[in-house]
Structure 1
Amino acid sequence: MEVLRTARLRLRWFRQSDAAFVRGLLNEPAWIEHIYDAQVRTDEQAAAWIRERLEARYWLLGFGFWAVERLEDGELLGLAGVIQREGLPYPDIGYGFPARFWGHGYAREAASATFDYCRQVLGMRHLMGTTAPENHPSGRVLVAIGMTDEGEQQTEAHEGLSRVYTWHDPIERSDAEEIAALRLRWRAALTGPARAALTACLTPETVDRVMASRTDLSPQALDHLAQRWAALADDPTLRAVRTPAGWRLDVPADR
């Protein structure tokens, strides 16, 4: 499923057929040094990592780490996106590219597009980025896209010190404005332009019901869910609920 496009790139959901690329990326020396060793050594392990760490989050959160493809020829270049890490108060923008694709501006282009998507499509008001203290190139990318360097800190998400970058929306909005913006995002997700963000509009309880016993995490399954709910795109009776992640819509269990 396509998430967004830039001048040179397409960001989409990872799929099982990307396993060989993901295995290679997770075993890049820079990935292991600056991020972590996922202990993924085979294509079968990479396929499981994609399903458990990537595909599940697309459904549970409505966002995650996405595959970065070059529009010119469809070559898979790397990974970029946003996740909610345990131990961090706000969603965290991240990216990773094999060394052979460094120096072309792909990381900055993908990270900048992700930053815009987080604010405009997902409605996020606060964002973070974290790097290893010595990973200065990644830090420069985060500053370049509009984040503030908060220095080295100990976070609950990482064992050692991290360099932390943040962004906070300076514009205060009323609850009514937040809910109105949520309903616009909900409509965009149901009618097509922002389909990948569908579950980011929903309360955790609604997502739990959707995910109960679900085994199909494909884009086609999300399309089917959106078609089932199409009549709710402009339904003013859907209840908006304040959650730790912001305002979300509660879809009744019988829908």
Structure 2
Amino acid sequence: MEKEASLTLGLAEKQVLETERLLLRPVRLADAEDMYEYAGDDETTRYVFPTHQSLQDTKEGIATYFMSAPLGKFAIEEYQSGKMIGTIDLRVEEALRKGELGYALNKAYWGQGFVPEAAMAILSLGFDHLGLISIQAVHDVDNPNSGKVMEKIGMTKIGLIPSERMNKGKVVDMVLYSISRKDWQRHIL
């Protein structure tokens, strides 16, 4: 029996993905100003990460999170403008053959279908290229719009995870969504 390819190799082979309107590519320091535009905005970051206080915070975040371990982490670049409008990532657990999806988008681009479009490319990467068996995502219970994105891409609400994490000094309940490879195949047909 042939050994399954490593997920790390699979992610290394697919560092750039394209959709109709988007280029998903590695995040680079040159993206700092575009990222700071939303990472420095309280409304955009409310449910996802601490708001950046300076462009330097954003550069540090890019270097430590995105560039130090870039596989599975993508800038969302809009083709039309060439602007980096957000990020999306697929964190994989090699031994379990599963992944977790996460994303952030500049609020100026909310409601235009960019995250579902990028997420569908990430799900395809996970299921069609990497052979994952399931992909999960979570959102803050107070952020139901993120759950709507998860439903649009075929994910099913699994349940509530009480007191799952701390965010900005507050204990947060999270809602868990998941999609299996079988459900993915049904969703895209």
1:93 aligned to 2:101?
A: yes
Instruction: Give the number of aligned pairs.
Output: 163
Bigger shift: 127-136 or 23-32?
23-32
Aligned to 2:129: 121
Native 8 Å contact 1:79 1:96 kept in 2: yes
Matched, 1:37 2:50: yes
Q: Which amino acid aligns with 1:53?
A: Y
User: Match of 1:74, SS?
Assistant: coil
Deviations 1:65-98 (A, max 9, x none): x11111123122211222259xxx9522121111
Letter matched to residue 52 of structure 1: T
Say which of 145, 148, 152 aligns to 1:140.
148
Residue 160 of structure 1 aligns with which residue? 172
Q: Match for residue 72 of structure 2?
A: 63
CA contact (8 A) 1:2 1:10 kept: no
Higher strand share: 2
TM-score calculated relative to the size of structure 1: 0.58
SS at match of 1:57: coil
Question: Aligned partners of 2:37, 2:112: CA distance in 1, in Å?
Answer: 19
C-alpha distance in structure 1 between counterparts of 2:110 and 2:172, whole Å: 26
Aligned-partner SS, 2:82: coil
Alpha-carbon distance in 1 for matches of 2:172, 2:53: 25
Cα gap change, 1:68 to 1:21, in 2 (>3 Å) = same
Report what 2:40 is aligned to: 27
* 3-state secondary structure, aligned to 1:18: helix
**Identity between Structure 1 and Structure 2 (%):** 23
Distance 1:35 1:2 in 2: 23
Relative distance call for 1:28 and 1:91 in structure 2 (3 A) is farther
Aligned 8 A contact 1:31 1:37 in 2? no
The match for 2:62 is 50
* Residues 26, 32 of structure 1: 8 Å contact kept: yes
Give CA-to-partner distance per residue, 1:94-141, whole Å, 9 cap, x none.
Answer: 211111111211111111111111112222212111001121211111
Aligned to 2:115: 107
**Structure 1, unaligned stretches of length 5 or more?**
172-255
Helix, strand or coil for the counterpart of 1:96?
strand
**Structure number with larger C-alpha Rg:** 1
The answer on 1:13 being equivalent to 2:21 is no
